[in-house]
Structure 1
């Protein structure tokens, strides 16, 4: 049986079978350039505009997205995708999209 590189089970991210502890349940995962990029749930109760991060394919933590502006002027990320150039794009509740430096 082939081991999956990553999977989500009940909102918990596993990489190579090892559970990754994150502040909230993971809702979305992308794989790009040897990185596993995750976005955890926006719950509307706890403000956090740093809800996107990445692990290496070996399961080592790499980064959380930087806080981009004061919390009272920014919404949490609620969607992410890779564009046609394989760049990470994320969207906030207000509909704005941002190109994320995922290096």
Structure 2
């Protein structure tokens, strides 16, 4: 199956022609091996720090990311998602930390401090 098995239309994720229910609009999607990693954009008045999900190619929820364990602010959602040059999935947080994401369960570990 190619990367065309999903699409994002106006913040809504579609897999195999079916809309997938997510708690907030989709900001980014990252296809990695047999799964799709989704970063949703929390509304400005909503605290939603576990805003990355892993879905199967059939739209099944595999896991939801661990909340950033660092920082004193209550509101600290992930801001971006990408693969580094080694194929490791990295989730960036506004607090200046980038985390490597365990693709099996969504736990995070510090990859870099950028502030």
Gaps of 5+ in 1: none
Size of the aligned set, in residue pairs, is 102
Partner residue, 2:91: 90
1:53-92 to 2 correspondences below 5 Å: 53-69=53-69, 72=73, 75-92=76-93
| C-alpha deviation, 1:74, in angstroms | 5.9
Q: Displaced runs of 4+ in structure 1, greater than 4 A?
A: none
CA distance in 1, matches of 2:75, 2:15: 30
| C-alpha deviation, 1:85, in angstroms | 1.6
CA distance in 1, matches of 2:67, 2:76: 11
Q: Do 1:42 and 1:77's aligned partners in 2 also have CA atoms closer than 8 Å?
A: no
The normalised TM-score by structure 1 is 0.87
> For residues 74 and 101 of structure 1, do their structure 2 counterparts lie closer, same or farther at Cα, with a shift above 3 Å needed?
farther
CA distance in 2, matches of 1:72, 1:95: 13
Gaps of 5+ in 2: 105-115
CA distance in 2, matches of 1:96, 1:68: 9
The normalised TM-score by structure 2 is 0.78
| C-alpha deviation, 1:90, in angstroms | 0.8
1:25-64 to 2 correspondences below 5 Å: 25-64=25-64
CA distance in 2, matches of 1:14, 1:8: 6
Q: Aligned to 2:82, what secondary structure does the other structure show?
A: strand
